[in-house]
Chain A
Amino acid sequence: MSAQTITCIGCPMGCRLRVLIAGGQVASVDGAGCGRGAVYARQECVCPTRMVTSLVRVQGRHAPLSVKTARPVPKEKIFACLQSIRAARVTPPVRIGDVIVADVCGTGVDVVATMACTEGDS
């Protein structure tokens, strides 16, 4: 049995949720102002995920290209994902949605471009 206190992000109330976890499952949630609090706590305390957005270097240019994970990845993998994004290099042309890093860090999620760059741009 372990306890954790988190802030619900469901609305600006920002309720402080006291969550009891037993056997990898949420046993109880205290302090939620509405039903959404418990739903959020179950997700956030058992397998928190985040979208990761960052930049990759473009061959021969100073200006970087913006990228995102196509879906949220487990929170504890954020910095590992950032590292493999940093190691990547792209060569123009790139279109929005092009895969920049496939299956990043074994998450099963691709890193895709959120910006286009053509051969002529600088």
Chain B
Amino acid sequence: MTDIDIVIIGGGPAGLAAAVAAREAGCDRLLLFERDEVLGGILPQCIHTGFGLHVFQEELTGPEYAQRFIDRVHALEIPVQCGTTVLDVTRDRVVTAVSPMCGLRQFRAKAIVLAMGCRERTRGALMIPGWRPAGVYTAGLAQRWVNREGWMPGRRVVILGSGDIGLIMARRMMFEGAKVLACVELMPYSSGLTRNVVQCLDDYDIPLMLSHTVTDIHGRERVEGVTVAQVDAQRMPVPGTEQRFDCDTLLLSVGLIPENELSKAAGVELAEATAGPVVDESLQTSVSGIFACGNVLHVHDLVDEVTRESAQAGRAAAAFARSAAGLPPPALRVRDGAGVRGVVPQAICAERVAEDVSLMFRPTAVFKDATAAVKIDRVEVARQRFRILTPGEMVKLTLPKGLFARFKGACELTVEVTE
């Protein structure tokens, strides 16, 4: 068993930013584990532009954005072990890792940063009837095959779900010579950015079929087609609206699920709304000394936001590793009010707030001319107006750290959205 200050699990943008920030905060002995052979998480396969507008004020591709942080990690001489999978984390912060090179090893860490990202929701979670022929893949898997490994999953494609990954893949498949027949979305609105709907679908005359779903998949060995039907207000297929598309591939872009098996093993409490750990304003989970950031905490739209959040987790972990002092439990509970789902953090310790507090959440539906308001024990402390809020875009409200001095001993903070 090796003693170490901080172990960071995951080498995506979250883990990289946490590592850089922890080192810059003065932590000497830290170690980052990544199970893939390369660093960068999901970014090396996101070859389109749209990363870094906030962090670097320029529009980079995924691989370029990742490389900037990989270069920082190398310049700061942060030890990184790729091809290494973390198998277990315990409450008392023992990390078990395995790699072909070093076999099974254990580390006792003063602090741990969970940065394992998320995985894609699959067809099993969706319950489409039919056989299980080849040709049904998640959009992110197809993205990896095309962009990193250089092979095409199919030639005639239907996409189920209008999340950004699905939209981006629609264009990518067109660029590689495939025909994309339709993008089918259950909800009456797209869950992706307007920019992606326009530049990935409209530009290439790919129809976006809102309030529709795939009701059947045809073919036994290989997909031969799918049936698409309109849905009613209860999201049930409307009989008589079925139409068949002949295709060899169905891509699923139906959501992401934070990857929290390790968190559960460590006894970290998870929140129902985010499927990620319950954290306080320093991004510490319910287990003292274990922090979480990036997509493992809650699914982000923008990598820039992942970087900001994860740097904070890195600084907090460094501070914890240095003092290891037992912190007071956070007393201020954060609650989802009307129209709001999944506020992070879920608790705040008003006595020790060290940085401005960003409250991040998604609205439960589309709201036009909306107002988001924050109340602490019924006193309104912040209010912001928005022309539009949609579940496809995370909302962030930042409260200055000085504010909390007035609310020592307060019990409840509520965020709500009204039209």
Decide if A66 touches B199 in the complex (CB within 8 Å): no
Decide if B194 touches A114 in the complex (CB within 8 Å): no
Residues of chain B with a CB closer than 8 A to A82's CB: 175
Is B67 an interface position by the 8 A CB rule?
yes
The docked-state distance in angstroms from the alpha carbon of A63 to that of B38 is 14
Residues of chain B with a CB closer than 8 A to A54's CB: 47, 175
Decide if A12 touches B390 in the complex (CB within 8 Å): yes
The docked-state distance in angstroms from the alpha carbon of A14 to that of B48 is 21
Instruction: For the complex formed, measure the closest distance between the CB of B241 and the CB atoms of chain A, giving whole angstroms.
Output: 25
Q: Which residues of chain A (1-31) have a CB below 8 Å from chain B? A: 6-9, 11-14
Decide if B175 touches A33 in the complex (CB within 8 Å): no
Given contacts A12-B390, A13-B387, contact A114 B199 (CB under 8 A): no
The docked-state distance in angstroms from the alpha carbon of A64 to that of B44 is 12
Decide if A11 touches B387 in the complex (CB within 8 Å): yes
Residues of chain B with a CB closer than 8 A to A33's CB: 387
Decide if B61 touches A53 in the complex (CB within 8 Å): yes
Q: Interface residues of B, CB < 8 Å — how many?
A: 32
The docked-state distance in angstroms from the alpha carbon of A114 to that of B62 is 9
Instruction: For the complex formed, measure the closest distance between the CB of B369 and the CB atoms of chain A, giving whole angstroms.
Output: 10
Give the interface size class of chain A. Answer: 20 to 34
Given contacts A12-B393, A66-B61, contact A53 B148 (CB under 8 A): no
The docked-state distance in angstroms from the alpha carbon of A13 to that of B369 is 10
Q: Which residues of chain B (377-419) have a CB below 8 Å from chain A? A: 387-390, 392-393
Contact bitstring A63-106, B, C-beta under 8 A = 1, else 0: 11010100000010000001000000000000010000000000
What's the count of A-B pairs with C-beta under 8 Å?
Answer: 75
Q: Which of B64, B67, B198, B389 has the most CB of A within 10 A?
A: B64
Nearest opposing residue in chain B for A50, CB measure: B199
The docked-state distance in angstroms from the alpha carbon of A62 to that of B148 is 9
Is A47 an interface position by the 8 A CB rule?
no
The docked-state distance in angstroms from the alpha carbon of A39 to that of B73 is 41
User: B194: which of A9, A63, A96 is its contact (CB, 8 Å)?
Assistant: A9
Given contacts A9-B194, A66-B147, contact A50 B203 (CB under 8 A): yes
Query: Which secondary structure dominates where chain A touches chain B?
Result: loop
The docked-state distance in angstroms from the alpha carbon of A7 to that of B171 is 18
Residues of chain A with a CB closer than 8 A to B49's CB: 51, 53, 68
Q: Which residues of chain B (193-209) have a CB below 8 Å from chain A? A: 193-195, 197-199, 202-203
Residues of chain A with a CB closer than 8 A to B88's CB: none
Nearest opposing residue in chain B for A10, CB measure: B194
Decide if A53 touches B47 in the complex (CB within 8 Å): yes
Residues of chain A with a CB closer than 8 A to B389's CB: 12
Residues of chain B with a CB closer than 8 A to A116's CB: 67
Instruction: For the complex formed, measure the closest distance between the CB of B287 and the CB atoms of chain A, giving whole angstroms.
Output: 37
Is B59 an interface position by the 8 A CB rule?
yes
Residues of chain B with a CB closer than 8 A to A11's CB: 194, 387-388
Residues of chain A with a CB closer than 8 A to B368's CB: 13
Residues of chain A with a CB closer than 8 A to B48's CB: 53
Decide if A115 touches B194 in the complex (CB within 8 Å): no
Given contacts A9-B195, A14-B194, A96-B64, contact A66 B47 (CB under 8 A): yes
The docked-state distance in angstroms from the alpha carbon of A35 to that of B8 is 46
Decide if A114 touches B47 in the complex (CB within 8 Å): yes
Decide if B194 touches A64 in the complex (CB within 8 Å): no
Q: Can you list 29 residue pairs at the A/B interface with Cβ under 8 Å?
A: A7-B197, A7-B198, A9-B194, A9-B199, A11-B194, A12-B390, A12-B392, A13-B194, A13-B387, A14-B194, A14-B197, A33-B387, A50-B199, A50-B203, A53-B61, A54-B47, A55-B47, A55-B150, A62-B150, A63-B149, A63-B150, A64-B147, A64-B148, A68-B47, A96-B63, A96-B64, A114-B47, A114-B60, A115-B44
Extra contacts, 18 of them, besides A63-B148, A68-B49 (Cβ < 8 A), are A6-B198, A9-B199, A12-B390, A12-B392, A13-B194, A14-B194, A33-B387, A53-B49, A53-B61, A55-B47, A55-B146, A63-B149, A63-B150, A64-B150, A82-B175, A114-B61, A115-B44, A115-B63
